[in-house]
Amino acid sequence: MSDLFSPINVGAISAKNRIVMAPLTRDRAIRDGRIPGPHSAAYYRQRASAGFIISEGTQIRPDGQGYLDTPGIHSKAQIEAWKKTTGAVHEAGGKILAQIWHVGRVSHTSLIRTAPVAPSAIRANTQTFTEAGMEPVSEPRALSLDEIKQVIEDYGTAARNAREAGFDGVEIHGANGYLVDQFLRDGANKRTDIYGGPIENRVRFMAEVVDSVSAAIGADRTGIRLSPVTPASDLQDSDPQPLFDLAVSELAKRNIAFLHMVEGATGGARDFVPGFDFQKLRKLFGGVYIANNGYDRQMALDAVARGAADMIAFGKLYISNPDLAERLKANAPLTEPDKTTFYGGGAEGYIDYPALEGVA
């Protein structure tokens, strides 16, 4: 039987345990250039005992940004800056993957100096974080077919950039109402061409993004995060089970390294859509399945032991417990995070949480 603390091979990536640090937006990038902030290397290094780390969402191009002070992976300066972080994690014996994203319609003109892009010109009923604070997102415009082709190519370029920056692989952000998710779900996708309408068409963009990234860096270093039922960023689908059955079946054909699944509403109820069958998706995929959303230690132990998941991703607990993997193994007390320091700021609430030996 597998154990939460046993090693596992995830495609080309060897993980020393089955605990994943989930991607966490912290809004601490340097605004000029959208490069990782001065404490990024220390922050990720402190958490290197995870099986592997998935970085904060990192935009693939300038119009992919949706929140103030998030980093990119589309310029030479960004690549060079990320090398300090990936080097620090590797020096500490860890592995780190870049989560590459394009937020699509979940953006604001003040951040990207143009209208956000999306599958369809449907404004999301949500807000985003700008220099003025929380503001409603801007009206998006629909991507043309030629523009879609370019975005897909840009995902592949971002993956190559991530490898050049020293990341061990990438996770495509296909969850939480951002661009890939917008193409998948009919709440945002009203297209009538080959990327819209029937589920076979709505899955196409995701599949082509995966193909682009896999061609750039290898399927064995490519993963994807999905959230089939979360209402995050004002997104929904009229019939999610057949849609995601098909989406995951397409992923299974491509032999990617892992599927990272948000089970339920992101940060909320695991049974948000009663009866939705995540274990069916796990079986359809057939490869390494990373489960995410509201797991505690016992839930994680049980899920891996019974084969319901291969790895478990933890988010908020990694903010305040840099040595979470060791604490879970020792069944040691966990520190609660300070929510007021989640987004923006400097070292406070970022690199000043003590490791286990500093806990009374």
Cβ atoms of 54 and 97 within 8 Å: the answer is yes
Task: Write the CA distances from 111 to 82, 103, 130, 158, 163, integer angstroms.
Answer: 21, 12, 7, 20, 26
**Taking a C-beta distance cutoff of 8 angstroms, is the pair 105, 123 a contact?**
yes
Q: Ramachandran region of residue 206, left (φ > 0), alpha (ψ -120 to 50) or beta?
A: alpha
The two three-digit tokens of residue 122, written as one number: 């449907």
For 181-213, the pLDDT digits (tens) are 999 999 999 999 999 999 999 999 999 999 999
Question: Rounded to an integer, what is the distance from CA 8 to the centroid of its chain?
Answer: 20
Taking only the tens place, the pLDDT of each residue in 51-107 is: 999 999 999 999 999 999 999 999 999 999 999 999 999 999 999 999 999 999 999
- Write out pLDDT tens, residues 111-141: 999 999 999 999 999 999 999 999 999 999 9
Per-residue pLDDT, averaged over 275-279, amounts to: 97
289 catalytic? Reply is no
DSSP code string of 34-54: TB--TTHHHHHHHTTTSSEEE
Distances (CA, A) of 35 to 77, 133, 160, 170, 204: 7, 21, 17, 18, 31
The CATH-assigned architecture of domain 8-13+21-293+306-311 is Alpha-Beta Barrel (3.20)
Bridge partners, residue 99, by sequence: 57, 171
Residue ranges covered by each domain of the chain: 8-13+21-293+306-311
Q: What is the dihedral of CA 136, 138, 144, 146, to 10 degrees?
A: -90
**pLDDT at residue 1, rounded to an integer:** 53
The residue whose two tokens read 């491509």 is: 254
- How far is it, in rounded angstroms, from Cα 262 to Cα 243? 16
Q: What is the pLDDT of residue 295?
A: 97
Q: What is the pLDDT of residue 94?
A: 98
Task: Report d(CA 300, CA 328) in Å as an integer.
Answer: 10
Position 329: which residue type?
K
| Whether the predicted pLDDT of 271 surpasses 80 | yes
Q: In this model, does residue 359 exceed pLDDT 90?
A: no
Angle, helix 240-253 to helix 204-217, in steps of 10 degrees = 20
Q: Which of 300, 297, 295, 293 is nearest to 268 (CA)?
A: 293
Chain centre to alpha carbon of residue 223:
10
Six-digit token string for 133: 């604070």
- Place 356 in a pLDDT band, splitting at 50, 70 and 90: confident
Per residue in 231-255, pLDDT (tens digit) is: 999 999 999 999 999 999 999 999 9
DSSP 196-264: SSSHHHHTHHHHHHHHHHHHHH-GGGEEEEE-TT--GGG---SSHHHHHHHHHHHHHHTT-SEEEEE-S
Over the Cα atoms of the chain, what is R_g?
19
How many residues belong to the chain?
A: 360
Among 38-42, 95-99, 214-218, 264-268, whose mean pLDDT is lowest?
A: 264-268
Residue of 43, 178, 195, 353 with catalytic role: 178
Across 36-40, average pLDDT: 97
